[in-house]
Amino acid sequence: MTANYETREHDVLIIGAGGAGLRAALEALAQGASVGVVCKSLLGKAHTVMAEGGIAAAMANVDPADNWKTHFRDTMRGGKFLNNWRMAQLHAQEAPDRVRELEQWGALFDRTEDGAILQRAFGGHTFKRLCHVGDRTGLEMIRTLQDRGVHQGIDVYMECTVTRLLTDGGRVAGAFAYWRETGRLIVFKAKSIVIATGGIGKAWRVTSNSWEYTGDGMALACEAGAELMDMEFVQFHPTGMVWPPGVQGILVTEAVRGEGGILRNKVGERFMERYDPKRMELSTRDVVARSIYTEVKEGRGTEHGGAYLDISHKPAEYVKKKLPSMYHQFKELADVDITKGPMEVGPTCHYMMGGVRVDAETAQSTVPGLFAAGEAAAGLHGSNRLGGNSLSDLLVFGRRAGLAAADHAKRVAAPSLDNAQIEQAEKELLAPFSNTGTESPYAVHRDLQEVMQNLVGIYRTQEDLKKALLDLEKLKARAAKASVEGSRLFNPGWHLSYDLKSMLIVSEAVTLSALARTESRGAHSRIDYPNADPVWEKKNNIIVHEGGEMKRRESPVPEMPPDLKQILAEDKA
Amino acid sequence: MMKEATLRVFRGDSKGGQTVDYRVPIAPGMVVLDALHYIQGHLAPDLAVRWNCKAGKCGSCSAEVNGRPRLTCKTRMDDLPVDQPITVLPMKSFPRIKDLVTDVSWNYRVNRKIPAFEPRPGVEWKISQLDVDRVQEFRKCIECFLCQNVCHVLREHDKMEQFAGPRFFVRIAGLEMHPLDGRDRAGLLKDQLGIGFCNITKCCTEVCPEEIRITDNAIIPLKERVVDEFYDPLTMLFRKFRGDKVQSV
Amino acid sequence: MADSPPVLPESRLGSTLRRDSWWVEIIPVVVVLGGFGIYATLRAFEGTYYSWGPYISPFYSPLIDPQHHWWPFSPALLILLGPLGFRATCYYYRKAYYRAFFLDPPACAVGEPANRKYRGETAFPFILQNVHRYFLYLAVLFLIFLWKDAFRSFFFDSRFGVGVGSIVLTLNVALLTLYTFSCHSLRHLAGGKLDCFSCASFGRARFSTWRGVSLLNERHMLFAWSSLISVGFADFYVRMVACGAIHDLRLL
């Protein structure tokens, strides 16, 4: 079987070419490592381009009182103290440098009067903290990293999907992948691998995520023996489009509320007064999402099952300047002029707080040589992420992962590849071509999205979650039998059959963790356990794959040193 | 009775192919990409389509709808006449891989020829918003490559080896007009990237989904900069006289 | 799901799957530009009926050697090269005539004649387009004369007055001014060539100038057409009055 694939060798292999992956690649390269980046799409199309609002970094350009301690405190509070304190600390301390670095690589942020980087307000942040480029900050970031990357000599394997990590006696040895274009196979040999594959939103029906967000990295890591953590915490962004059906879930940036947008229900009430009278529309995402959901559930929703978000009280020119892409998005896709009338919005699956459990300093997982950064990693955001903390997460921990991965590669000998693992991976990957039934991967995917949407959504109950686990078992069986038509040449049906496997793994991890956590905290809301439980504040849910089965454990939240506790205690709001 | 439309989609690969008609039910607000997804999910699971965000932000789903280069995620079905089949073809200027997917790797090779941002030595990192505004327009580009596809220098005359195409003039404009960039790319533009092949017929501007005014704001200003350095005897003399040393690439 | 015949059209002139009438874009260009070209050529060679009272046709201004001391041909021929060069190398007109007359391309995503050698503006003659700014300098010079003509057109035998011709000539030079000052080359020279407005000397002023020219530049096409028509009409009006076909109406 050795002739079936080509082989490439790198010190550091990075899976995913979004913000975290590219930042990791640049850092590993700077350390002198040979770096390969594998991505499912074309370079520059990663989900990072969809990030709109900005990068949170306590640069104090607009509010001089801001500093890392406040950012740290905001992040911990937003995450309801389930965050890894060390990650939150590093993140708050290093984000400003990462932003400056981006600028030195050619990024152009909006400016203050005196020529510094302009910062805007966002939900959960005490100060004006988000460095931004209109409402397309993510695009600016990815283009800057991408253009720097191609000139520094990163090898990019575009439209190439990794389907299995290869191990050598417990440590990472490489990855097995296929080219989407031709269906040909490729094996990577690497001393270090960085998972930077982003989130899992495509397992839900209503999501702001692109098709790539199928949880591949988490599934790969889990199968390779790494631990997943905090998988129950799936962020539903409060404002996605709800009408027309084709655009359901597409993100409506939080900046609309940041710029003064008001939420109303069918009868015209400004309902946030009931749920968070102090912060109103700029409450944290979990609260606003639940509020909208509740309004709809109780019969006060709009015609298409959402809430009205209105910015039309602001001057039309102001709206067009500050929210250009929102203006065009509604105009072109929904025939709504947001300078004249309200938008219809509702919650949409947006972000995964959980992911691969990593060491705070090095971003290394529990498998030696396997690193993870960005949305694919867990820890920084705890049970709920603040807007703007994602882009800074990508830069801070992308860099740390790249650094540590290069360092690891220097210290270890070349691993050896195990042919049996490769053969197994090939057999699995090509199975859908030999399956003879009529099961379509598209049908399984649709049904999976229904299960996750209806049973593992914003509000959860034991009954629903138990049913979801049973349904997932059935879906797994169906997915294993799914067959595909056509050849291996760019065949989306075939691609989906592999993505399905990843989605099913992460869906199960989410459901298992959600079932165990008998409390409501951050993005995880249990109707049968509506309050936060101090006992659960001290525990993270851990998921491991052992003996072909998914197991859940609990692990104590690391104890914070006294000086940081002091920071949290200050100014208890 | 649900309203239906017929999509006439190219099916085939680098060797050839033909169009195939598919009947698709129309939902309110549906875009062409939704219709293609319906075909994938129900009629032809192996229909190759490149897409990512379906929100007009990533620039992956470019194709030619009824002969016009478009992002399929931003082309509404209700803007198209459904009494006759809607043709959906791959971008013409790039080699076909399969169905609607084309090989756009040439663009990535061109990008490598463009020297990256390099700050002038000793710059202070203070930038005025008035210097940023102009460049930010160019930075909106989502690399859908529709401008490359429609540009007749590439589409009709196949000047891939001599000509960089509108996308990369936009990129260079963003670098050249970056207030802190210290490099000069005029020589490169003239000789290797063939800006002279552009006859400013503006199709790139017409198709740009981000509404970047490619011709007026990027290409023509760059042409004028090339004139400064290579065609205008007065400015050339003036530069010599001043002893300007620009870091040419 | 019936198969239909192969469709990817081969490239030849006019091949496209566009459903709209793409050719309607180029017809007005052919008619107006072509018509103007013929009219201007005839008028340039005519060498007479170019002035009446205080009016002088823009085709003949500034009037050089009308008595044919050293130039035996129509004085317009000495003048018209300037405006002609300015318009021929204009970034807007280039688009218009490359499309309409050279069919290169006839319209977006529409095929061109097969097997044509294409060199764009990299070789003679079109490489000469690069001297557009020198025609701009000339055009500004002409504007001075034309404004003087417009001013003079309000004085009939040294007494102030307003005729229809005064208005025609003034409107014409106003439109020509808008056209000239919305020029892409001017936009570049005024400030567009700077990388950093805030760090250049007189940066703020040049930024404002650049922005002003940019605003005009967005309507360059509009000014290009309206001034073309106005300049043709101004000449036509003067000619008609000069040859006695119509009487200039005195308004004041």
Q: End-to-end CA distance of chain C: give it in Å, rounded.
A: 76
Distance of CA A57 to the CA centre of its chain: 19
pLDDT at C9: 61
Looking at the annotation, which residues of A are catalytic?
237, 257
Of B180, B199, B232, the CB nearest to C121: B199
pLDDT at A153: 85
CB contact under 8 Å between C109 and B196, yes or no, is no
Q: Across residues C227-248, what is the average pLDDT? A: 96
Q: Of the candidates A346, A350, A249, which has an alpha carbon nearest to the alpha carbon of residue A291?
A: A346
Could you give the dihedral angle defined by the CA atoms of residues C208, C213, C218 and C224, in that order, rounded to the nearest 10 degrees?
170
Residue type, C229: I
Nearest CA in chain B to A118: B129
A101 interface with B at CB cutoff 8 Å: no
Nearest CA in chain A to B104: A42
**Residue position matching structure tokens 């301390």:** A93
CB contact under 8 Å between C4 and B157, yes or no, is no
Of C17, C98, C184, the CB nearest to B201: C98
Nearest CA in chain A to B141: A139
Burial class (CB within 10 angstroms; exposed 0-12, middle 13-18, buried 19+) of A340? exposed
pLDDT at A529: 97
Distance CA B58, CA B141 (A): 9
Distance CA C20, CA C16 (A): 10
Distance CA B40, CA A497 (A): 13
The mean pLDDT values, 10 residues at a time, for chain B of 249 residues are 89 95 94 96 96 93 97 94 94 96 96 94 91 95 97 96 98 97 96 97 97 97 97 88 59
Distance CA A333, CA A343 (A): 12
pLDDT at C71: 92
CA dihedral sign, ordered A181, A187, A189, A193: positive
Stretch among A338-352, C4-18, C67-81 having the lowest mean pLDDT: C4-18
Q: Of the candidates B35, B60, B136, which has an alpha carbon nearest to the alpha carbon of residue A47?
A: B60
Of B52, B119, B142, the CB nearest to A41: B52
Of B81, B225, B230, the CB nearest to C193: B225
Q: Please list every residue in chain B whose beta carbon sits closer than 8 Å to the beta carbon of residue C112.
A: 152, 156
Cβ neighbours for B3, distance < 8 A, ≥ 6 positions apart: B25, B26, B82
β-sheet bridge partners, residue A240 = A251, A346
- Cβ distance C47 to C59 under 8 Å? no
State the DSSP H helix or E strand holding residue A460, giving kind and residue range, or none if neither.
strand A459-460
Chain A, 473 to 512: residues with Cβ < 8 Å from chain B are 484-487, 489-494
Distance CA A13, CA A1 (A): 24
Q: Please list every residue in chain A whose beta carbon sits closer than 8 Å to the beta carbon of residue B42.
A: 442
B3 interface with A at CB cutoff 8 Å: no
In angstroms, what separates the C-alpha of B30 from chain C's closest C-alpha?
Answer: 21
pLDDT at C3: 43
- Cβ distance A194 to A21 under 8 Å? yes
Q: Which fold has domain B4-102?
A: Ubiquitin-like (UB roll) (3.10.20)
Q: Across residues C126-137, what is the average pLDDT? A: 96
Q: What is the 3-state secondary structure (H, E, C) of chain C?
A: CCECCCCCCCCCCCCCCCCCCHHHHHHHHHHHHHHHHHHHHHHHHHCCCCEECCEECCCCCCCCCCCCCCCCCCCHHHHCHHHHHHHHCCHHHHHHHHHHCCCCCCCCCCCCCCCCCCCCCCCCCHHHHHHHHHHHHHHHHHHHHHHHHHHHCCEECCEECCEHHHHHHHHHHHHHHHHHHCCHHHHHHHHHCCCCHHHCCCHHHHHHHHHHHHHHHCCHHHHHHHHHHHHHHHHHHHHHHHCCCCCCCECC
Q: Chains meeting A at 3+ CB pairs closer than 8 A?
A: B
Q: Across residues A330-349, what is the average pLDDT? A: 95
pLDDT at C4: 45
Percent of chain A with pLDDT over 70: 99
Number of alpha carbons in the 13 Å side-chain half-sphere of residue B152: 34
Kindly report, residue by residue over A270-288, the tens digit of the pLDDT: 999 999 999 899 888 999 9
CATH number of B105-248: 1.10.3720.10, 1.10.1060.10, 3.40.50.720, 3.40.50.10470? 1.10.1060.10
pLDDT at B139: 96
Q: Please list every residue in chain B whose beta carbon sits closer than 8 Å to the beta carbon of residue A42.
A: 50, 60, 104
Q: Please list every residue in chain C whose beta carbon sits closer than 8 Å to the beta carbon of residue B207.
A: 108
Backbone angles phi, psi at C56, to 5 degrees: -135, 140
Does position A573 have pLDDT exceeding 70, yes or no?
Answer: no
CB contact under 8 Å between B216 and C184, yes or no, is yes
pLDDT at C8: 59
Chain B, 159 to 188: residues with Cβ < 8 Å from chain A are 171, 175, 178, 181
The secondary structure of chain B in percent helix, strand, coil, rounded to multiples of 5, reads 40, 20, 45
Cβ neighbours for A298, distance < 8 A, ≥ 6 positions apart: none
Does position A197 have pLDDT exceeding 70, yes or no?
Answer: yes
Residue type, A355: G
Q: ipTM value of the model?
A: 0.94
Q: Of the candidates B1, B2, B81, B87, which has an alpha carbon nearest to the alpha carbon of residue B36?
A: B87
**Sequence ranges of chain B with CATH classification 1.10.1060.10:** 105-248
Q: Please list every residue in chain A whose beta carbon sits closer than 8 Å to the beta carbon of residue B128.
A: 111, 115
A329 interface with B at CB cutoff 8 Å: yes
* Residue A3: band (very low, low, confident or very high) from pLDDT cuts 50, 70, 90: low
Residue type, A454: N
Q: Across residues A378-399, what is the average pLDDT? A: 97
DSSP conformational letter for A524: B
* DSSP reduced 3-state for A335: coil
pLDDT at B248: 46
Does position C2 have pLDDT exceeding 50, yes or no?
Answer: no
pLDDT at C11: 72
Q: Please list every residue in chain A whose beta carbon sits closer than 8 Å to the beta carbon of residue B142.
A: 49, 139
Which of B31, B57, B125 should be substituted to probe chain A, the one whose Cβ sees the most A Cβ atoms within 10 Å?
B57
Kindly report, residue by residue over A393-422, the tens digit of the pLDDT: 999 999 999 999 999 999 999 999 999 999
Q: Across residues C133-139, what is the average pLDDT? A: 97
pLDDT at C1: 39
Which of B38, B46, B78, B143 should be substituted to probe chain A, the one whose Cβ sees the most A Cβ atoms within 10 Å?
B46
Of C19, C120, C207, the CB nearest to B199: C120
CB contact under 8 Å between B40 and A442, yes or no, is yes
* Residue C116: band (very low, low, confident or very high) from pLDDT cuts 50, 70, 90: confident
Domain layout of chain A by residue ranges: 237-346, 419-556
- Cβ distance B30 to B82 under 8 Å? no
Q: Which CATH architecture has domain A419-556?
A: Up-down Bundle (1.20)
Of B17, B19, B67, the CB nearest to C19: B67
Domain layout of chain C by residue ranges: 23-182+219-242
Kindly report, residue by residue over C7-32, the tens digit of the pLDDT: 556 678 888 999 999 999 999 999 99
Q: Which region, left, alpha or beta, applies to residue A562 given φ > 0 means left and ψ of -120 to 50 means alpha?
A: alpha
CB contact under 8 Å between C199 and B8, yes or no, is no
Q: A446: which 2 tokens?
A: 């649709």
Q: Please list every residue in chain A whose beta carbon sits closer than 8 Å to the beta carbon of residue B132.
A: 108-111
Q: Which fold has domain A237-346?
A: Flavocytochrome C3; Chain A, domain 1 (3.90.700)
DSSP conformational letter for B209: T
